């Protein structure tokens, strides 16, 4: 790829640390060995997203996928690493340019009931941001909102209604309309279809795909649902405990996953099929990010673990053109 | 034909609210043989959870079972008194809920709760009850059960808590377990572990299982038979192969076609138009009629469950043609 990626993450890291309370601070001053317990939610993620691409981000709870999405959307400041917007470091942009860049990346959340203000009418929820940011004069706001609602398949007659008067699927459409109202280039979708029933979920997935065509949008599509990600994304990244363990074009990754965790995840995701199957689950639980295992974070559960895995953390390396995997096995023998 | 373990006939559970009567369950028929796993599938508001609760008489007011029978080994549970139901609950029919944090008492240790559950139904010594709890925990794959019995629910992860809930359900080797979305809140790898244990236990102990879920994928992997619910009624029932491979009700077909992994990548999904109707204001006749592409004039009258046999039936005037085909996945 020669074109400049629309978003480029370089060693993006997020640490959450708990502030010590009074007693702990006092105890520390007296010499007690108390350190602030920090959770490294995202550790050194490199990822570049090309214009118009859909990148799926998959992982189980606590793997840091939402934190990563929030950093990309500009809601959370990264603790370390750089985020480049069209090739330029966000921190080096002038305030006006940074403001513009932030506006171009919008987010769609999981639970529209929690992310839509229950006391605002749809006209205000969707219309507020474009007016504030000067994209539309206030007098034309209503017209503009109506057009945006039509775009996401909602009847503009609903303009005066409140969020609670809508069904779950319609509410998600409002959330999408709100994101689209400021004319973004990139949408970060964090579990945007997870809370919906299957038949409604299909409608919203179709809407995302249609909007991508019509508005040439770029998506970072975060989900725990492998089927959804396989359907919608061009490339898929699999995260485990704060790091990307495998990144590849979607068809290749789903056909032939390389990383043992990716394999386990794909094997164990139940699929609709006529055959009854026996589960052969992988043992153990997802380790706590408070106390991650040494070396490769997956080694305590990995069926192929070697001594090296607990000592040294494997880097994310290219294993084929456009395919990346973080596993020591790729260096010893071909898997 | 032998008497089934459980037979639900025309079960109707209504909620009398100020806004009107909500017919959450409105004429559900089910049958379940010993050791069989039935997947009860439906979207939110279809009445699948209320059906599960009605079987055990666990519906909270303003909900009430207003009609039908629940025959458990020939005994009608709908008319049974509270005392009789208490003797059955937990002992012969156990229930597992979606969120074990809501069903486990947070201020009692797991051991205390399990011993109590054993001694509620059987006169055994505390030590014996403890030993039985220990074995039950070991059976669902919990390592160092002795230590775990002394722990409290908050010390467990979500997957472990669900294992504990399953262990409690197994304490009395019940004939039937009703599981209401027990793996919905869990991660994929943890869900696979739970499904593995459940499948193994049902094979070993011959316990029958009703698995209530919205997830067709889980059902297709786990169940023997499936009943699909829509707006308070079973609209189609059959074996997993029949339901997945050859759905006859348009709703079942639509549901299957909406699953992303069954579609070609990037191609728009064939979704069902519209949304689930409000149970307060159901359309006359077939409730699926306004969303259905096969509806006709006949559909204003509610169709009966018809089909090849009792366990392979659908509720539709214009069923999808039977197809001789294998797995379309």
Q: How far apart are CA B97 and CA B178, in angstroms?
A: 8
Average pLDDT along chain B: 87
- Shortest distance between the Cα of A30 and any Cα of chain B, in A, equals 31
Residue ranges of A 31-90 with Cβ closer than 8 A to chain B? 60-61
Same domain, A219 and A263: no
> For residues B8 and B70, is the Cβ–Cβ distance under 8 A?
yes
Q: Do B241 and A274 touch (CB under 8 A)?
A: yes
- The model's confidence at residue A1, banded by pLDDT at 50, 70 and 90, is very low
Residue ranges of A 152-211 with Cβ closer than 8 A to chain B? 167-170, 197-203, 205-206, 209-210
Listed residues A255, A278, A307: the one ending a domain: A255
Same domain, A52 and A166: yes
Residue of B nearest to A262 (CA): B189
Given a cut of 90, whether residue B127 has pLDDT beyond it is yes
Contacts of B262 in chain A (CB under 8 A): 272
Residue ranges of B 157-176 with Cβ closer than 8 A to chain A? 157, 159-160
Residue entry with tokens 């040494």:
A294
Same domain, A91 and A228: yes
Residue entry with tokens 């994929």:
B188
- Paired with A306 in beta bridges are none
- Shortest distance between the Cα of B12 and any Cα of chain A, in A, equals 24
- Shortest distance between the Cα of A233 and any Cα of chain B, in A, equals 8
Task: Compare A195 and A237 and report the one with higher pLDDT.
Answer: A237
Q: How far apart are CA B135 and CA B131, in angstroms?
A: 6
User: Which among A198, A225, A268 has CB closest to B43?
Assistant: A198
Q: Do A199 and B260 touch (CB under 8 A)?
A: no
Contacts of B188 in chain A (CB under 8 A): 60, 224, 226, 265, 268-269
User: Which among B160, B254, B262 has CB closest to A199?
Assistant: B254
- SS3 letters for A135-180? CCCHHHHHHHHHHHHHHCCCCHHHHHCCHHHCCHHHHHHHHHHHHH
How many structural domains is chain A composed of? 2
pLDDT reported for residue A275: 67
- A185: helix, coil or strand? coil
- Of A23-32, A324-333, B261-270, which one has max mean pLDDT? A324-333
- Paired with A235 in beta bridges are A55, A249
Backbone phi, psi, residue B55, to 5°: -60, -40
Q: Do A274 and B220 touch (CB under 8 A)?
A: yes
HSE of A239, CA atoms in CB hemisphere, 13 A = 30
Given a cut of 60, whether residue A333 has pLDDT beyond it is no
Tell whether A277 is covered by a domain: no
B327 shares contact with chain A (CB less than 8 Å):
yes
Residue ranges of A 296-315 with Cβ closer than 8 A to chain B? none
pLDDT reported for residue B323: 66
- The model's confidence at residue A334, banded by pLDDT at 50, 70 and 90, is very low
B322 shares contact with chain A (CB less than 8 Å):
no
- The model's confidence at residue A335, banded by pLDDT at 50, 70 and 90, is very low
In the predicted model, what is the mean pLDDT of residues A130-146? 92
Tell whether A286 is covered by a domain: no
Tell whether A315 is covered by a domain: yes
**Range with lowest mean pLDDT among A124-128, A142-146, B298-302:** B298-302
> For residues A18 and A198, is the Cβ–Cβ distance under 8 A?
no
Rounded alpha-carbon distances, angstroms, from residue B209 to B57, B226, B239: 17, 12, 15
Mutation target to probe the A interface, by most A beta carbons within 10 A, among B36, B142, B192 is B192
**Range with lowest mean pLDDT among A60-64, A98-102, B208-212:** A60-64
Same domain, A78 and A170: yes
Same domain, A174 and A310: no
A213 shares contact with chain B (CB less than 8 Å):
no
Q: Do B240 and A278 touch (CB under 8 A)?
A: no
Tell whether A113 is covered by a domain: yes
Tell whether A280 is covered by a domain: no
**Range with lowest mean pLDDT among A152-161, A243-252, B194-203, B224-233:** B194-203
B241-270 pLDDT tens trace? 999 989 999 999 998 888 887 777 778 888
- The model's confidence at residue A290, banded by pLDDT at 50, 70 and 90, is confident
pLDDT reported for residue B177: 93
Same domain, A238 and A140: yes
Query: Distance from first CA to last CA of chain A, Å, rounded?
Result: 27
Given a cut of 70, whether residue B175 has pLDDT beyond it is yes
Tokens of A127: 């219309």
User: Which among B193, B216, B269 has CB closest to A272?
Assistant: B216
In the predicted model, what is the mean pLDDT of residues A10-32? 81
Q: Do A281 and B275 touch (CB under 8 A)?
A: no
pLDDT reported for residue A34: 67
Same domain, A250 and A311: no
State which H helix or E strand residue B9 sits in: strand B6-17
Q: Do B276 and A269 touch (CB under 8 A)?
A: no
Q: Do B159 and A285 touch (CB under 8 A)?
A: yes
Beta carbon pairs, A and B, within 8 Å: 151
User: Which residues, other chains included, contact B61 with Cβ-Cβ below 8 Å and sequence gap of 6+?
Assistant: none
Share of chain B above pLDDT 90, in %: 35
A17 shares contact with chain B (CB less than 8 Å):
no
B92-101 pLDDT tens trace? 999 998 877 7
Residue ranges of B 218-237 with Cβ closer than 8 A to chain A? 218, 220-224
Q: Do A167 and B214 touch (CB under 8 A)?
A: no
B6 shares contact with chain A (CB less than 8 Å):
no
In the predicted model, what is the mean pLDDT of residues B154-181? 88
In the predicted model, what is the mean pLDDT of residues A168-185? 92
Same domain, A334 and A214: no
Q: Do B259 and A197 touch (CB under 8 A)?
A: no
B260 shares contact with chain A (CB less than 8 Å):
yes
> For residues B171 and B117, is the Cβ–Cβ distance under 8 A?
yes
Tell whether A278 is covered by a domain: no
Backbone phi, psi, residue A278, to 5°: -100, 135
Contacts of A285 in chain B (CB under 8 A): 157, 159-160, 190
User: Which among A205, A265, A272 has CB closest to B256?
Assistant: A272
Range of the domain at A213: 7-255
Same domain, A244 and A261: no
Q: How far apart are CA A40 and CA A24, in angstroms?
A: 21
pLDDT reported for residue A243: 93
B149 shares contact with chain A (CB less than 8 Å):
no
CATH of the domain at A223: 3.40.50.300
Given a cut of 50, whether residue B328 has pLDDT beyond it is no
User: Which among B189, B214, B275 has CB closest to A198?
Assistant: B214
Contacts of A170 in chain B (CB under 8 A): 275
Same domain, A262 and A220: no
Can you tell me the ipTM of this complex?
0.78
Contacts of A264 in chain B (CB under 8 A): 189
Share of chain B above pLDDT 70, in %: 98
Tell whether A18 is covered by a domain: yes
Tell whether A279 is covered by a domain: no
pLDDT reported for residue B250: 92
Task: Compare A150 and A25 and report the one with higher pLDDT.
Answer: A150
Listed residues A205, A231, A255: the one ending a domain: A255
- Shortest distance between the Cα of B299 and any Cα of chain A, in A, equals 21
B191 shares contact with chain A (CB less than 8 Å):
yes
B195-226 pLDDT tens trace? 888 888 888 888 999 999 988 888 888 899 99
pLDDT reported for residue B225: 93
Same domain, A95 and A83: yes
- Cα radius of gyration (chain B): 21
B3 shares contact with chain A (CB less than 8 Å):
no
- The model's confidence at residue B276, banded by pLDDT at 50, 70 and 90, is confident
Same domain, A301 and A195: no
């Amino acid at each position: 790829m020669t074109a400049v990626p629309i978003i480029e993450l370089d060693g993006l890291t997020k640490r959450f640390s708990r502030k010590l309370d009074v007693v702990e601070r006092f105890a520390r001053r007296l010499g007690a060995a108390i350190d602030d317990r920090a959770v490294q939610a995202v550790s050194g993620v490199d990822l570049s997203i090309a214009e118009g691409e859909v990148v799926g981000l998959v992982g189980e709870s606590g793997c840091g996928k939402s934190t990563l999405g929030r950093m990309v959307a500009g809601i959370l400041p990264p603790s370390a690493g750089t985020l480049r917007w069209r090739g330029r470091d966000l921190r080096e942009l002038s305030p006006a340019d940074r403001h513009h860049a932030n506006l171009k990346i919008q987010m769609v959340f999981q639970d529209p009931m929690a992310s839509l203000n229950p006391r605002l009418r749809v006209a205000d929820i969707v219309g507020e941001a474009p007016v504030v940011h000067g994209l539309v004069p206030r007098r034309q706001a209503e017209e503009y909102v109506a057009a945006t609602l039509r775009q996401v398949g909602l009847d503009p007659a609903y303009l005066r209604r409140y969020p609670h008067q809508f069904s779950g699927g319609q509410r998600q459409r409002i959330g999408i309309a709100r994101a689209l109202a400021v004319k973004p280039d990139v949408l970060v979708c964090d579990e945007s279809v997870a809370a919906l029933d299957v038949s409604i979920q299909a409608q919203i997935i179709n809407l995302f795909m249609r909007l991508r065509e019509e508005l040439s949008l770029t998506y970072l599509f975060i989900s725990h649902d492998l089927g959804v990600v396989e359907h919608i994304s061009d490339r898929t990244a699999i995260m485990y405990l704060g790091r990307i363990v495998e990144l590849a074009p979607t068809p290749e990754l789903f056909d032939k996953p390389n990383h043992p965790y990716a394999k386990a995840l794909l094997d164990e995701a139940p699929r609709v099929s006529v055959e009854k199957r026996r589960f052969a689950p992988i043992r153990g639980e997802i380790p706590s990010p408070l106390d991650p295992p040494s070396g490769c974070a997956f080694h305590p559960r990995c069926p192929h673990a070697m001594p090296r895995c607990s000592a040294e953390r494997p880097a994310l390396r290219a294993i084929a053109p456009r395919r990346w995997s973080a596993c020591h096995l790729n260096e010893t023998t071909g898997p | 034909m032998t008497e089934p373990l459980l037979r639900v006939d025309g079960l109707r559970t209504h909620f009398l609210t100020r806004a009107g009567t909500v017919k959450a369950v409105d004429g559900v028929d089910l049958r379940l043989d010993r050791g069989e796993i039935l997947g009860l599938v439906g979207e939110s508001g279809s009445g699948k959870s209320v059906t599960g609760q009605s079987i055990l008489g666990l519906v909270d007011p303003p909900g009430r079972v207003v009609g039908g029978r629940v025959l458990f080994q020939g005994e009608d549970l709908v008319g049974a008194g509270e005392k009789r139901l208490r003797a059955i609950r937990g002992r012969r029919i156990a229930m597992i809920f979606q969120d074990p944090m809501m069903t486990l008492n947070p201020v009692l240790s797991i051991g205390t709760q399990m011993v109590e559950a054993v001694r509620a139904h059987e006169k055994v010594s505390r030590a014996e009850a403890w030993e039985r709890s220990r074995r039950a925990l070991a059976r669902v794959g919990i390592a160092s059960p002795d230590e775990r019995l002394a722990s409290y629910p908050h010390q467990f992860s979500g997957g472990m808590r669900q294992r504990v809930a399953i262990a409690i359900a197994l304490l009395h080797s019940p004939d039937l377990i009703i599981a209401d979305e027990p793996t919905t809140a869990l991660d994929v790898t943890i869900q696979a572990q739970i499904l593995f244990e459940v499948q193994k236990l049902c094979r070993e102990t011959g316990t029958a299982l009703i698995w209530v879920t919205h997830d067709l994928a889980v059902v297709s992997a786990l169940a023997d038979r499936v009943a699909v619910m829509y707006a308070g009624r079973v609209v189609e029932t059959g074996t997993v192969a029949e339901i997945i491979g050859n759905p006859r009700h348009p709703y079942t077909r639509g549901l299957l076609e909406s699953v992303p992994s069954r579609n070609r990548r990037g191609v728009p999904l064939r979704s069902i138009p519209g949304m689930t109707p409000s149970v307060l204001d159901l359309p006359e006749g077939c409730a699926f009629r306004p969303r259905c592409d096969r509806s006709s004039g006949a559909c204003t009258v509610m169709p009966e469950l018809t089909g090849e046999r009792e366990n392979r039936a659908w509720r539709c005037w214009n069923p999808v043609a039977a197809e001789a085909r294998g797995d379309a996945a």
